[in-house]
Amino acid sequence: MNYLSVENISKSFGEVALFSNVSFGINKDQKIAFIAKNGTGKTTILNIIAGLASSDTGQVVSRKGIKIEYLSQEDNLDDNLTVEETIFNSDNETLKVIEEYEKALHNPNDEKGYQVAFEKMERLNAWDFETQYKQILSKLKLDDLTQKVSSLSGGQRKRLSLAVILIHKSDLLILDEPTNHLDLEMIEWLENYFQKEKITLLMVTHDRYFLERVCNEIIELDQGNLYTYKGNYSYFLEKKEERIAIEQASVDKAKNLFVKELEWMRRQPKARTTKSKSRIDDFFIIKEEAHKRRDNHKVQLEIDMERLGSKIAEFHHVSKSFDDLKILDRFDYVFKRNERIGIIGKNGTGKSSFIKMLVGEIPVDSGKVVIGETIKFGHYSQDGIVIKPGQKVIEVIKEFGEYIPLTKGRKISAAQLLERFMFSRSRQYDFVEKLSGGERKRLYLCTVLIQNPNFLILDEPTNDLDIVTLNVLEEFLLDFPGCLIVVSHDRYFMDKIVDHLFVFKGDGVIEDFPGNYTDYKVYEDSKPVEENTAPKSVDSRSKIGNKSKLSFKEKKEYDSLEGDIESLTKQKGDIEAKFLDTSLSGEEINELAIKLQEISQKIDQKEARWFELSSMLE
Judge whether 391 and 337 are in contact, CB under 8 Å: no
- Cα end-to-end distance, the chain, whole Å: 39
If asked whether residues 263 and 368 sit together in one domain, one would say no
Q: Residue 295 falls within a domain, yes or no?
A: no
In this prediction the pTM is: 0.66
CATH code at 70? 3.40.50.300
Q: Residue 303 falls within a domain, yes or no?
A: no
Q: Residue 304 falls within a domain, yes or no?
A: no
Judge whether 595 and 575 are in contact, CB under 8 Å: yes
If asked whether residues 487 and 533 sit together in one domain, one would say no
d(CA 501, CA 480): 18
If asked whether residues 499 and 350 sit together in one domain, one would say yes
If asked whether residues 275 and 334 sit together in one domain, one would say no
What phi and psi values does residue 35 have, to the nearest 5 degrees?
A: -120, 130
Q: Which of 235, 269, 301 is the last residue of a domain?
A: 235
Q: How many domains does the chain have?
A: 4
Residue ranges of the chain with per-residue pLDDT less than 50: 293-299, 530-548, 552
Looking at the DSSP bridge assignments, the partners of residue 411 are 405
**Degrees (nearest 5) of the Cα angle 554, 558, 564?**
135
d(CA 95, CA 291): 59
If asked whether residues 231 and 242 sit together in one domain, one would say no
pLDDT for the residue numbered 544: 32
Q: Residue 306 falls within a domain, yes or no?
A: no
Q: Which of 491, 519, 547 is the last residue of a domain?
A: 519
If asked whether residues 247 and 396 sit together in one domain, one would say no
Q: What DSSP state is assigned to residue 375?
A: -
d(CA 147, CA 139): 17
Structural domain for 35, as ranges: 2-235
d(CA 430, CA 439): 12
If asked whether residues 487 and 584 sit together in one domain, one would say no
If asked whether residues 371 and 246 sit together in one domain, one would say no
If asked whether residues 229 and 241 sit together in one domain, one would say no
Q: Which of 189, 207, 235 is the last residue of a domain?
A: 235
If asked whether residues 344 and 259 sit together in one domain, one would say no
Q: Residue 78 falls within a domain, yes or no?
A: yes
Judge whether 206 and 215 are in contact, CB under 8 Å: no
Q: Residue 307 falls within a domain, yes or no?
A: no
d(CA 506, CA 329): 10
If asked whether residues 151 and 82 sit together in one domain, one would say yes
If asked whether residues 257 and 168 sit together in one domain, one would say no
Cα dihedral across residues 84, 90, 91, 92: positive or negative: negative
3-class DSSP string for 130-188: HHHHHHHHHHCCCCCCCCEHHHCCHHHHHHHHHHHHHHCCCCEEEEECCCCCCCHHHHH
Chain centre to alpha carbon of residue 452: 28
Q: Residue 164 falls within a domain, yes or no?
A: yes
Q: Residue 308 falls within a domain, yes or no?
A: no
Q: What is the pLDDT of residues 71-118, one digit of tens each?
A: 998 888 999 999 888 988 877 788 888 888 878 877 767 777 878 888
